[in-house]
Structure 1
Amino acid sequence: MSKTITTAKVVFLDRSTMLPDVVLRQLSFPHEWVEYEATRAEEVSDRIADAHVVITNKAPVTAKAIASARNLKLVAVAATGTDVVDIAACAARNVLVSNIRDYAVDTVPEHTFALLFALRRSLLAYRDSVRTGRWAESGQFCYFDYPIRNIAGSVLGIIGDGALGRAVADLARAFGMRVLFSSYKGVQGMGPLYTPFEDVLRLSDAITIHAPLTPATRNMIGAPEFALMERRPILINTARGGLVDEIALGEALRSGRISGAGFDVATVEPPSADHPLMQLTGLPNFILTPHVAWASQEAVQSLADQLMDNIEAFRSGTPKNVVTGAH
């Protein structure tokens, strides 16, 4: 963005994807700020037509929208994943794309373990049974309707060795778990720090996914993979919908092939009432949360600060967190 632009127009397409009380600090350069709570796909082109900077979290910035945005210089993604932006179209138009990095290294691992503890100890199943009168009916000080297993001494398989996967491993070791980092599916010989993908499925008491969604990782866990899970593990997915075959997940849960599952993501968000994951929410060993693993107050404020840093850095000519740059 040239410094010769006297007043830059900055358009935030979906402010409601951030917590309402998170502070977006004022940009230091002259600008016009236009903010929408949400933007439908068909509205994007009109709303960014004369924008210099576009901020988006989930609103799609397509090749068509980019082509009609005559002043566009920067698409600042208010998230780590950039699949909502046509990266190739931006590169062709000399438009820089930036994203947010490493802001969720506490919140996502904590959410992962919240799901794992709740499922490993059947917390929600017991809570619900108390609510419906089971304790009063039991006639004694406790009852054992649902399994309770320790975290300590169990094996955690981690699929994804980035910042989040490593942070989860640190927590796991603190709780006395043995950690296995999975090699990439279909890739052999990654070295002694990695365990073959199929062996992780066989040996783990719990499996947690922290991988991006790509053509290579889509449905990386399906019926054949569930069949390998000899220890009936708990499966946690706080990464992306589409990494697990949701139909196969339901079959694995109902058949007892796995002990439980905790998901924070779905292939369609929000999921409709007939979505495969919604059909599982009545099971005592399944927890579905609405894509909020990333959304602690502290993490979202860090995201907001980094978002504004990215815009300021680009304006000053020293862009950071670049996904694709001008050429």
Structure 2
Amino acid sequence: MEHIVFLDHEGISQSIEKMAPDFPHTWANYEYTAPEQIVERLKDATIAMTCSVPLRKEQLAQLPKLRMISMALTGMDIVDVDYCKEQGIDVRNVPGYAENTVAEHTLAMIFDLVRKTGHYHRLMQDIHAGKKPLQNLYLNYRIRDIQGLNIAIIGHGPIGRRLAELSQAVGMNVCFHDRFGKYQGEQYQSLDLLLQQCDVLAICCPLTDETRDLIRAEHLQMMKSDAVIVNTARGGIINEQDLIQALLKEKIAGVALDVVEHEPIQLDNPILHLVEHPNLILNPHVAWSSENAMQGLMDRAIQNIKNFIQEEKAFKKSGVA
């Protein structure tokens, strides 16, 4: 009998249907699991599912019954995968489930930064509340067309490629940063050249040792003063302190973040202290969470569990084990 524990059920909307695995099992759901609760809740688990709860070596070492981790997300950075490989714990994620929804969210943030729709709505709120006077004409905020802007995309996975398609559809000029020299052509440029030429910088790559602090103060200095940055990938790819200083000193025109380095965001986070800044958009890591994407995510995360059990049974039946 398998015992499956979902550590952070709150990460999936209640409207999402969850298909039950077709093998004997028990299932325990927890809205959220704090780090100090992980070992106790997983002590009898053979399979763990997580949306955002990190599983580290020091916890995994105390869970001898655990054989599989099903990650209801794409990024692998919240699990010590190397340790799992050493211990024979199977780890599976769901790549590509959110390529459209994250790309759409990124584009929506770009539109808001460039077209200032939110700014003008808040202006109307202030006028309605009597905080600002009526005017004949409103030119309070600079508006630029999206068409013709240069967007630099860091990341060439499914999300980055989908964002490129959407960006081209609205008339933007697309270039990618080719970190590993795999690609040829005018669309692929060095990081320095991308930063110097772009009007929009979009972060769409995973957080790894190579991409941590990929964008730092010296890179932000290269950018146009009216360029904007959107990060819907992972906090930590852009050095947050350097980003804050660039925004405050008006080295860049705007920043939209769906992610921060330390999540869930806490009240003492310096980024949160800037939430009233007129050129900052801050979202609580929701770019992935359209209902369409969440349904596909859960279907595939549970299918990963079913596949693992089927493969394990076939392996044992073959007599190799």
TM-score by length of 1: 0.90
Aligned to 2:26: 32
Using the TM superposition, give the Cα deviation of residue 237 of structure 1 relative to its aligned residue in structure 2, in angstroms.
0.2
Give the % identical residues: 34
Aligned to 2:270: 276
Within 5 Å, give how 1:193-272 maps onto structure 2.
Answer: 193-230=187-224, 232-272=226-266
Tell whether the 8 Å contact from 1:122 to 1:285 is kept in structure 2 after alignment. Answer: no
Tell whether the 8 Å contact from 1:49 to 1:69 is kept in structure 2 after alignment. Answer: yes
Aligned to 1:191: 184
Partners of 2:155 and 2:182 in 1: how far apart? 16
Does 2:160 correspond to 1:161? no
Q: From the superposition, tell whether residues 137 and 78 of structure 1 become closer, same or farther in structure 2 (CA, over 3 Å).
A: same
Partners of 1:273 and 1:21 in 2: how far apart? 29
Aligned to 1:94: 88
What is the CA RMSD across the aligned residues, in angstroms?
1.9
Q: Secondary structure at the match of 1:262?
A: strand
Q: Secondary structure at the match of 1:173?
A: helix
Deviations 1:115-142 (A, max 9, x none): 01011011121111111118972431x3
Aligned to 2:318: none
Tell whether the 8 Å contact from 1:173 to 1:179 is kept in structure 2 after alignment. Answer: yes
Deviations 1:253-297 (A, max 9, x none): 222221111100011223233322112211211100010000001
Does 2:299 correspond to 1:291? no
Higher relative contact order (CA 8 A, sep 6+): 1
Does 2:110 correspond to 1:116? yes
Tell whether the 8 Å contact from 1:118 to 1:124 is kept in structure 2 after alignment. Answer: yes
Aligned to 1:177: 172
Tell whether the 8 Å contact from 2:77 to 2:208 is kept in structure 1 after alignment. Answer: no
The code of the aligned residue for 2:165 comes to D
Does 2:59 correspond to 1:59? no
The code of the aligned residue for 1:282 comes to E
Deviations 1:193-241 (A, max 9, x none): 4111111101111110001111221121121011100353110000001
TM-score by length of 2: 0.92
Using the TM superposition, give the Cα deviation of residue 252 of structure 1 relative to its aligned residue in structure 2, in angstroms.
1.6
Tell whether the 8 Å contact from 1:203 to 1:231 is kept in structure 2 after alignment. Answer: no
Q: Secondary structure at the match of 1:308?
A: helix
Aligned to 1:49: 43
The code of the aligned residue for 2:214 comes to M
Q: Which runs of 5+ in 1 are unaligned?
A: 1-6, 320-326
Aligned to 1:149: 144
Partners of 1:189 and 1:77 in 2: how far apart? 29
Q: From the superposition, tell whether residues 273 and 65 of structure 1 become closer, same or farther in structure 2 (CA, over 3 Å).
A: closer
Q: From the superposition, tell whether residues 75 and 204 of structure 1 become closer, same or farther in structure 2 (CA, over 3 Å).
A: same
Does 2:135 correspond to 1:139? yes
Tell whether the 8 Å contact from 1:157 to 1:179 is kept in structure 2 after alignment. Answer: yes
Tell whether the 8 Å contact from 2:199 to 2:224 is kept in structure 1 after alignment. Answer: no
Tell whether the 8 Å contact from 2:225 to 2:250 is kept in structure 1 after alignment. Answer: no
Aligned match of 1:9 in 3, 20, 32? 3
Using the TM superposition, give the Cα deviation of residue 248 of structure 1 relative to its aligned residue in structure 2, in angstroms.
1.7
Using the TM superposition, give the Cα deviation of residue 188 of structure 1 relative to its aligned residue in structure 2, in angstroms.
6.2
- Range with greater deviation from structure 2 (272-281 or 37-46): 272-281
Runs of 4+, deviation exceeding 3 Å: 187-190
The code of the aligned residue for 1:308 comes to I
Q: Secondary structure at the match of 1:68?
A: coil
Using the TM superposition, give the Cα deviation of residue 318 of structure 1 relative to its aligned residue in structure 2, in angstroms.
7.4
Q: Secondary structure at the match of 2:255?
A: strand
**Number of equivalent positions:** 311
Q: From the superposition, tell whether residues 135 and 170 of structure 1 become closer, same or farther in structure 2 (CA, over 3 Å).
A: farther
Tell whether the 8 Å contact from 2:5 to 2:48 is kept in structure 1 after alignment. Answer: yes
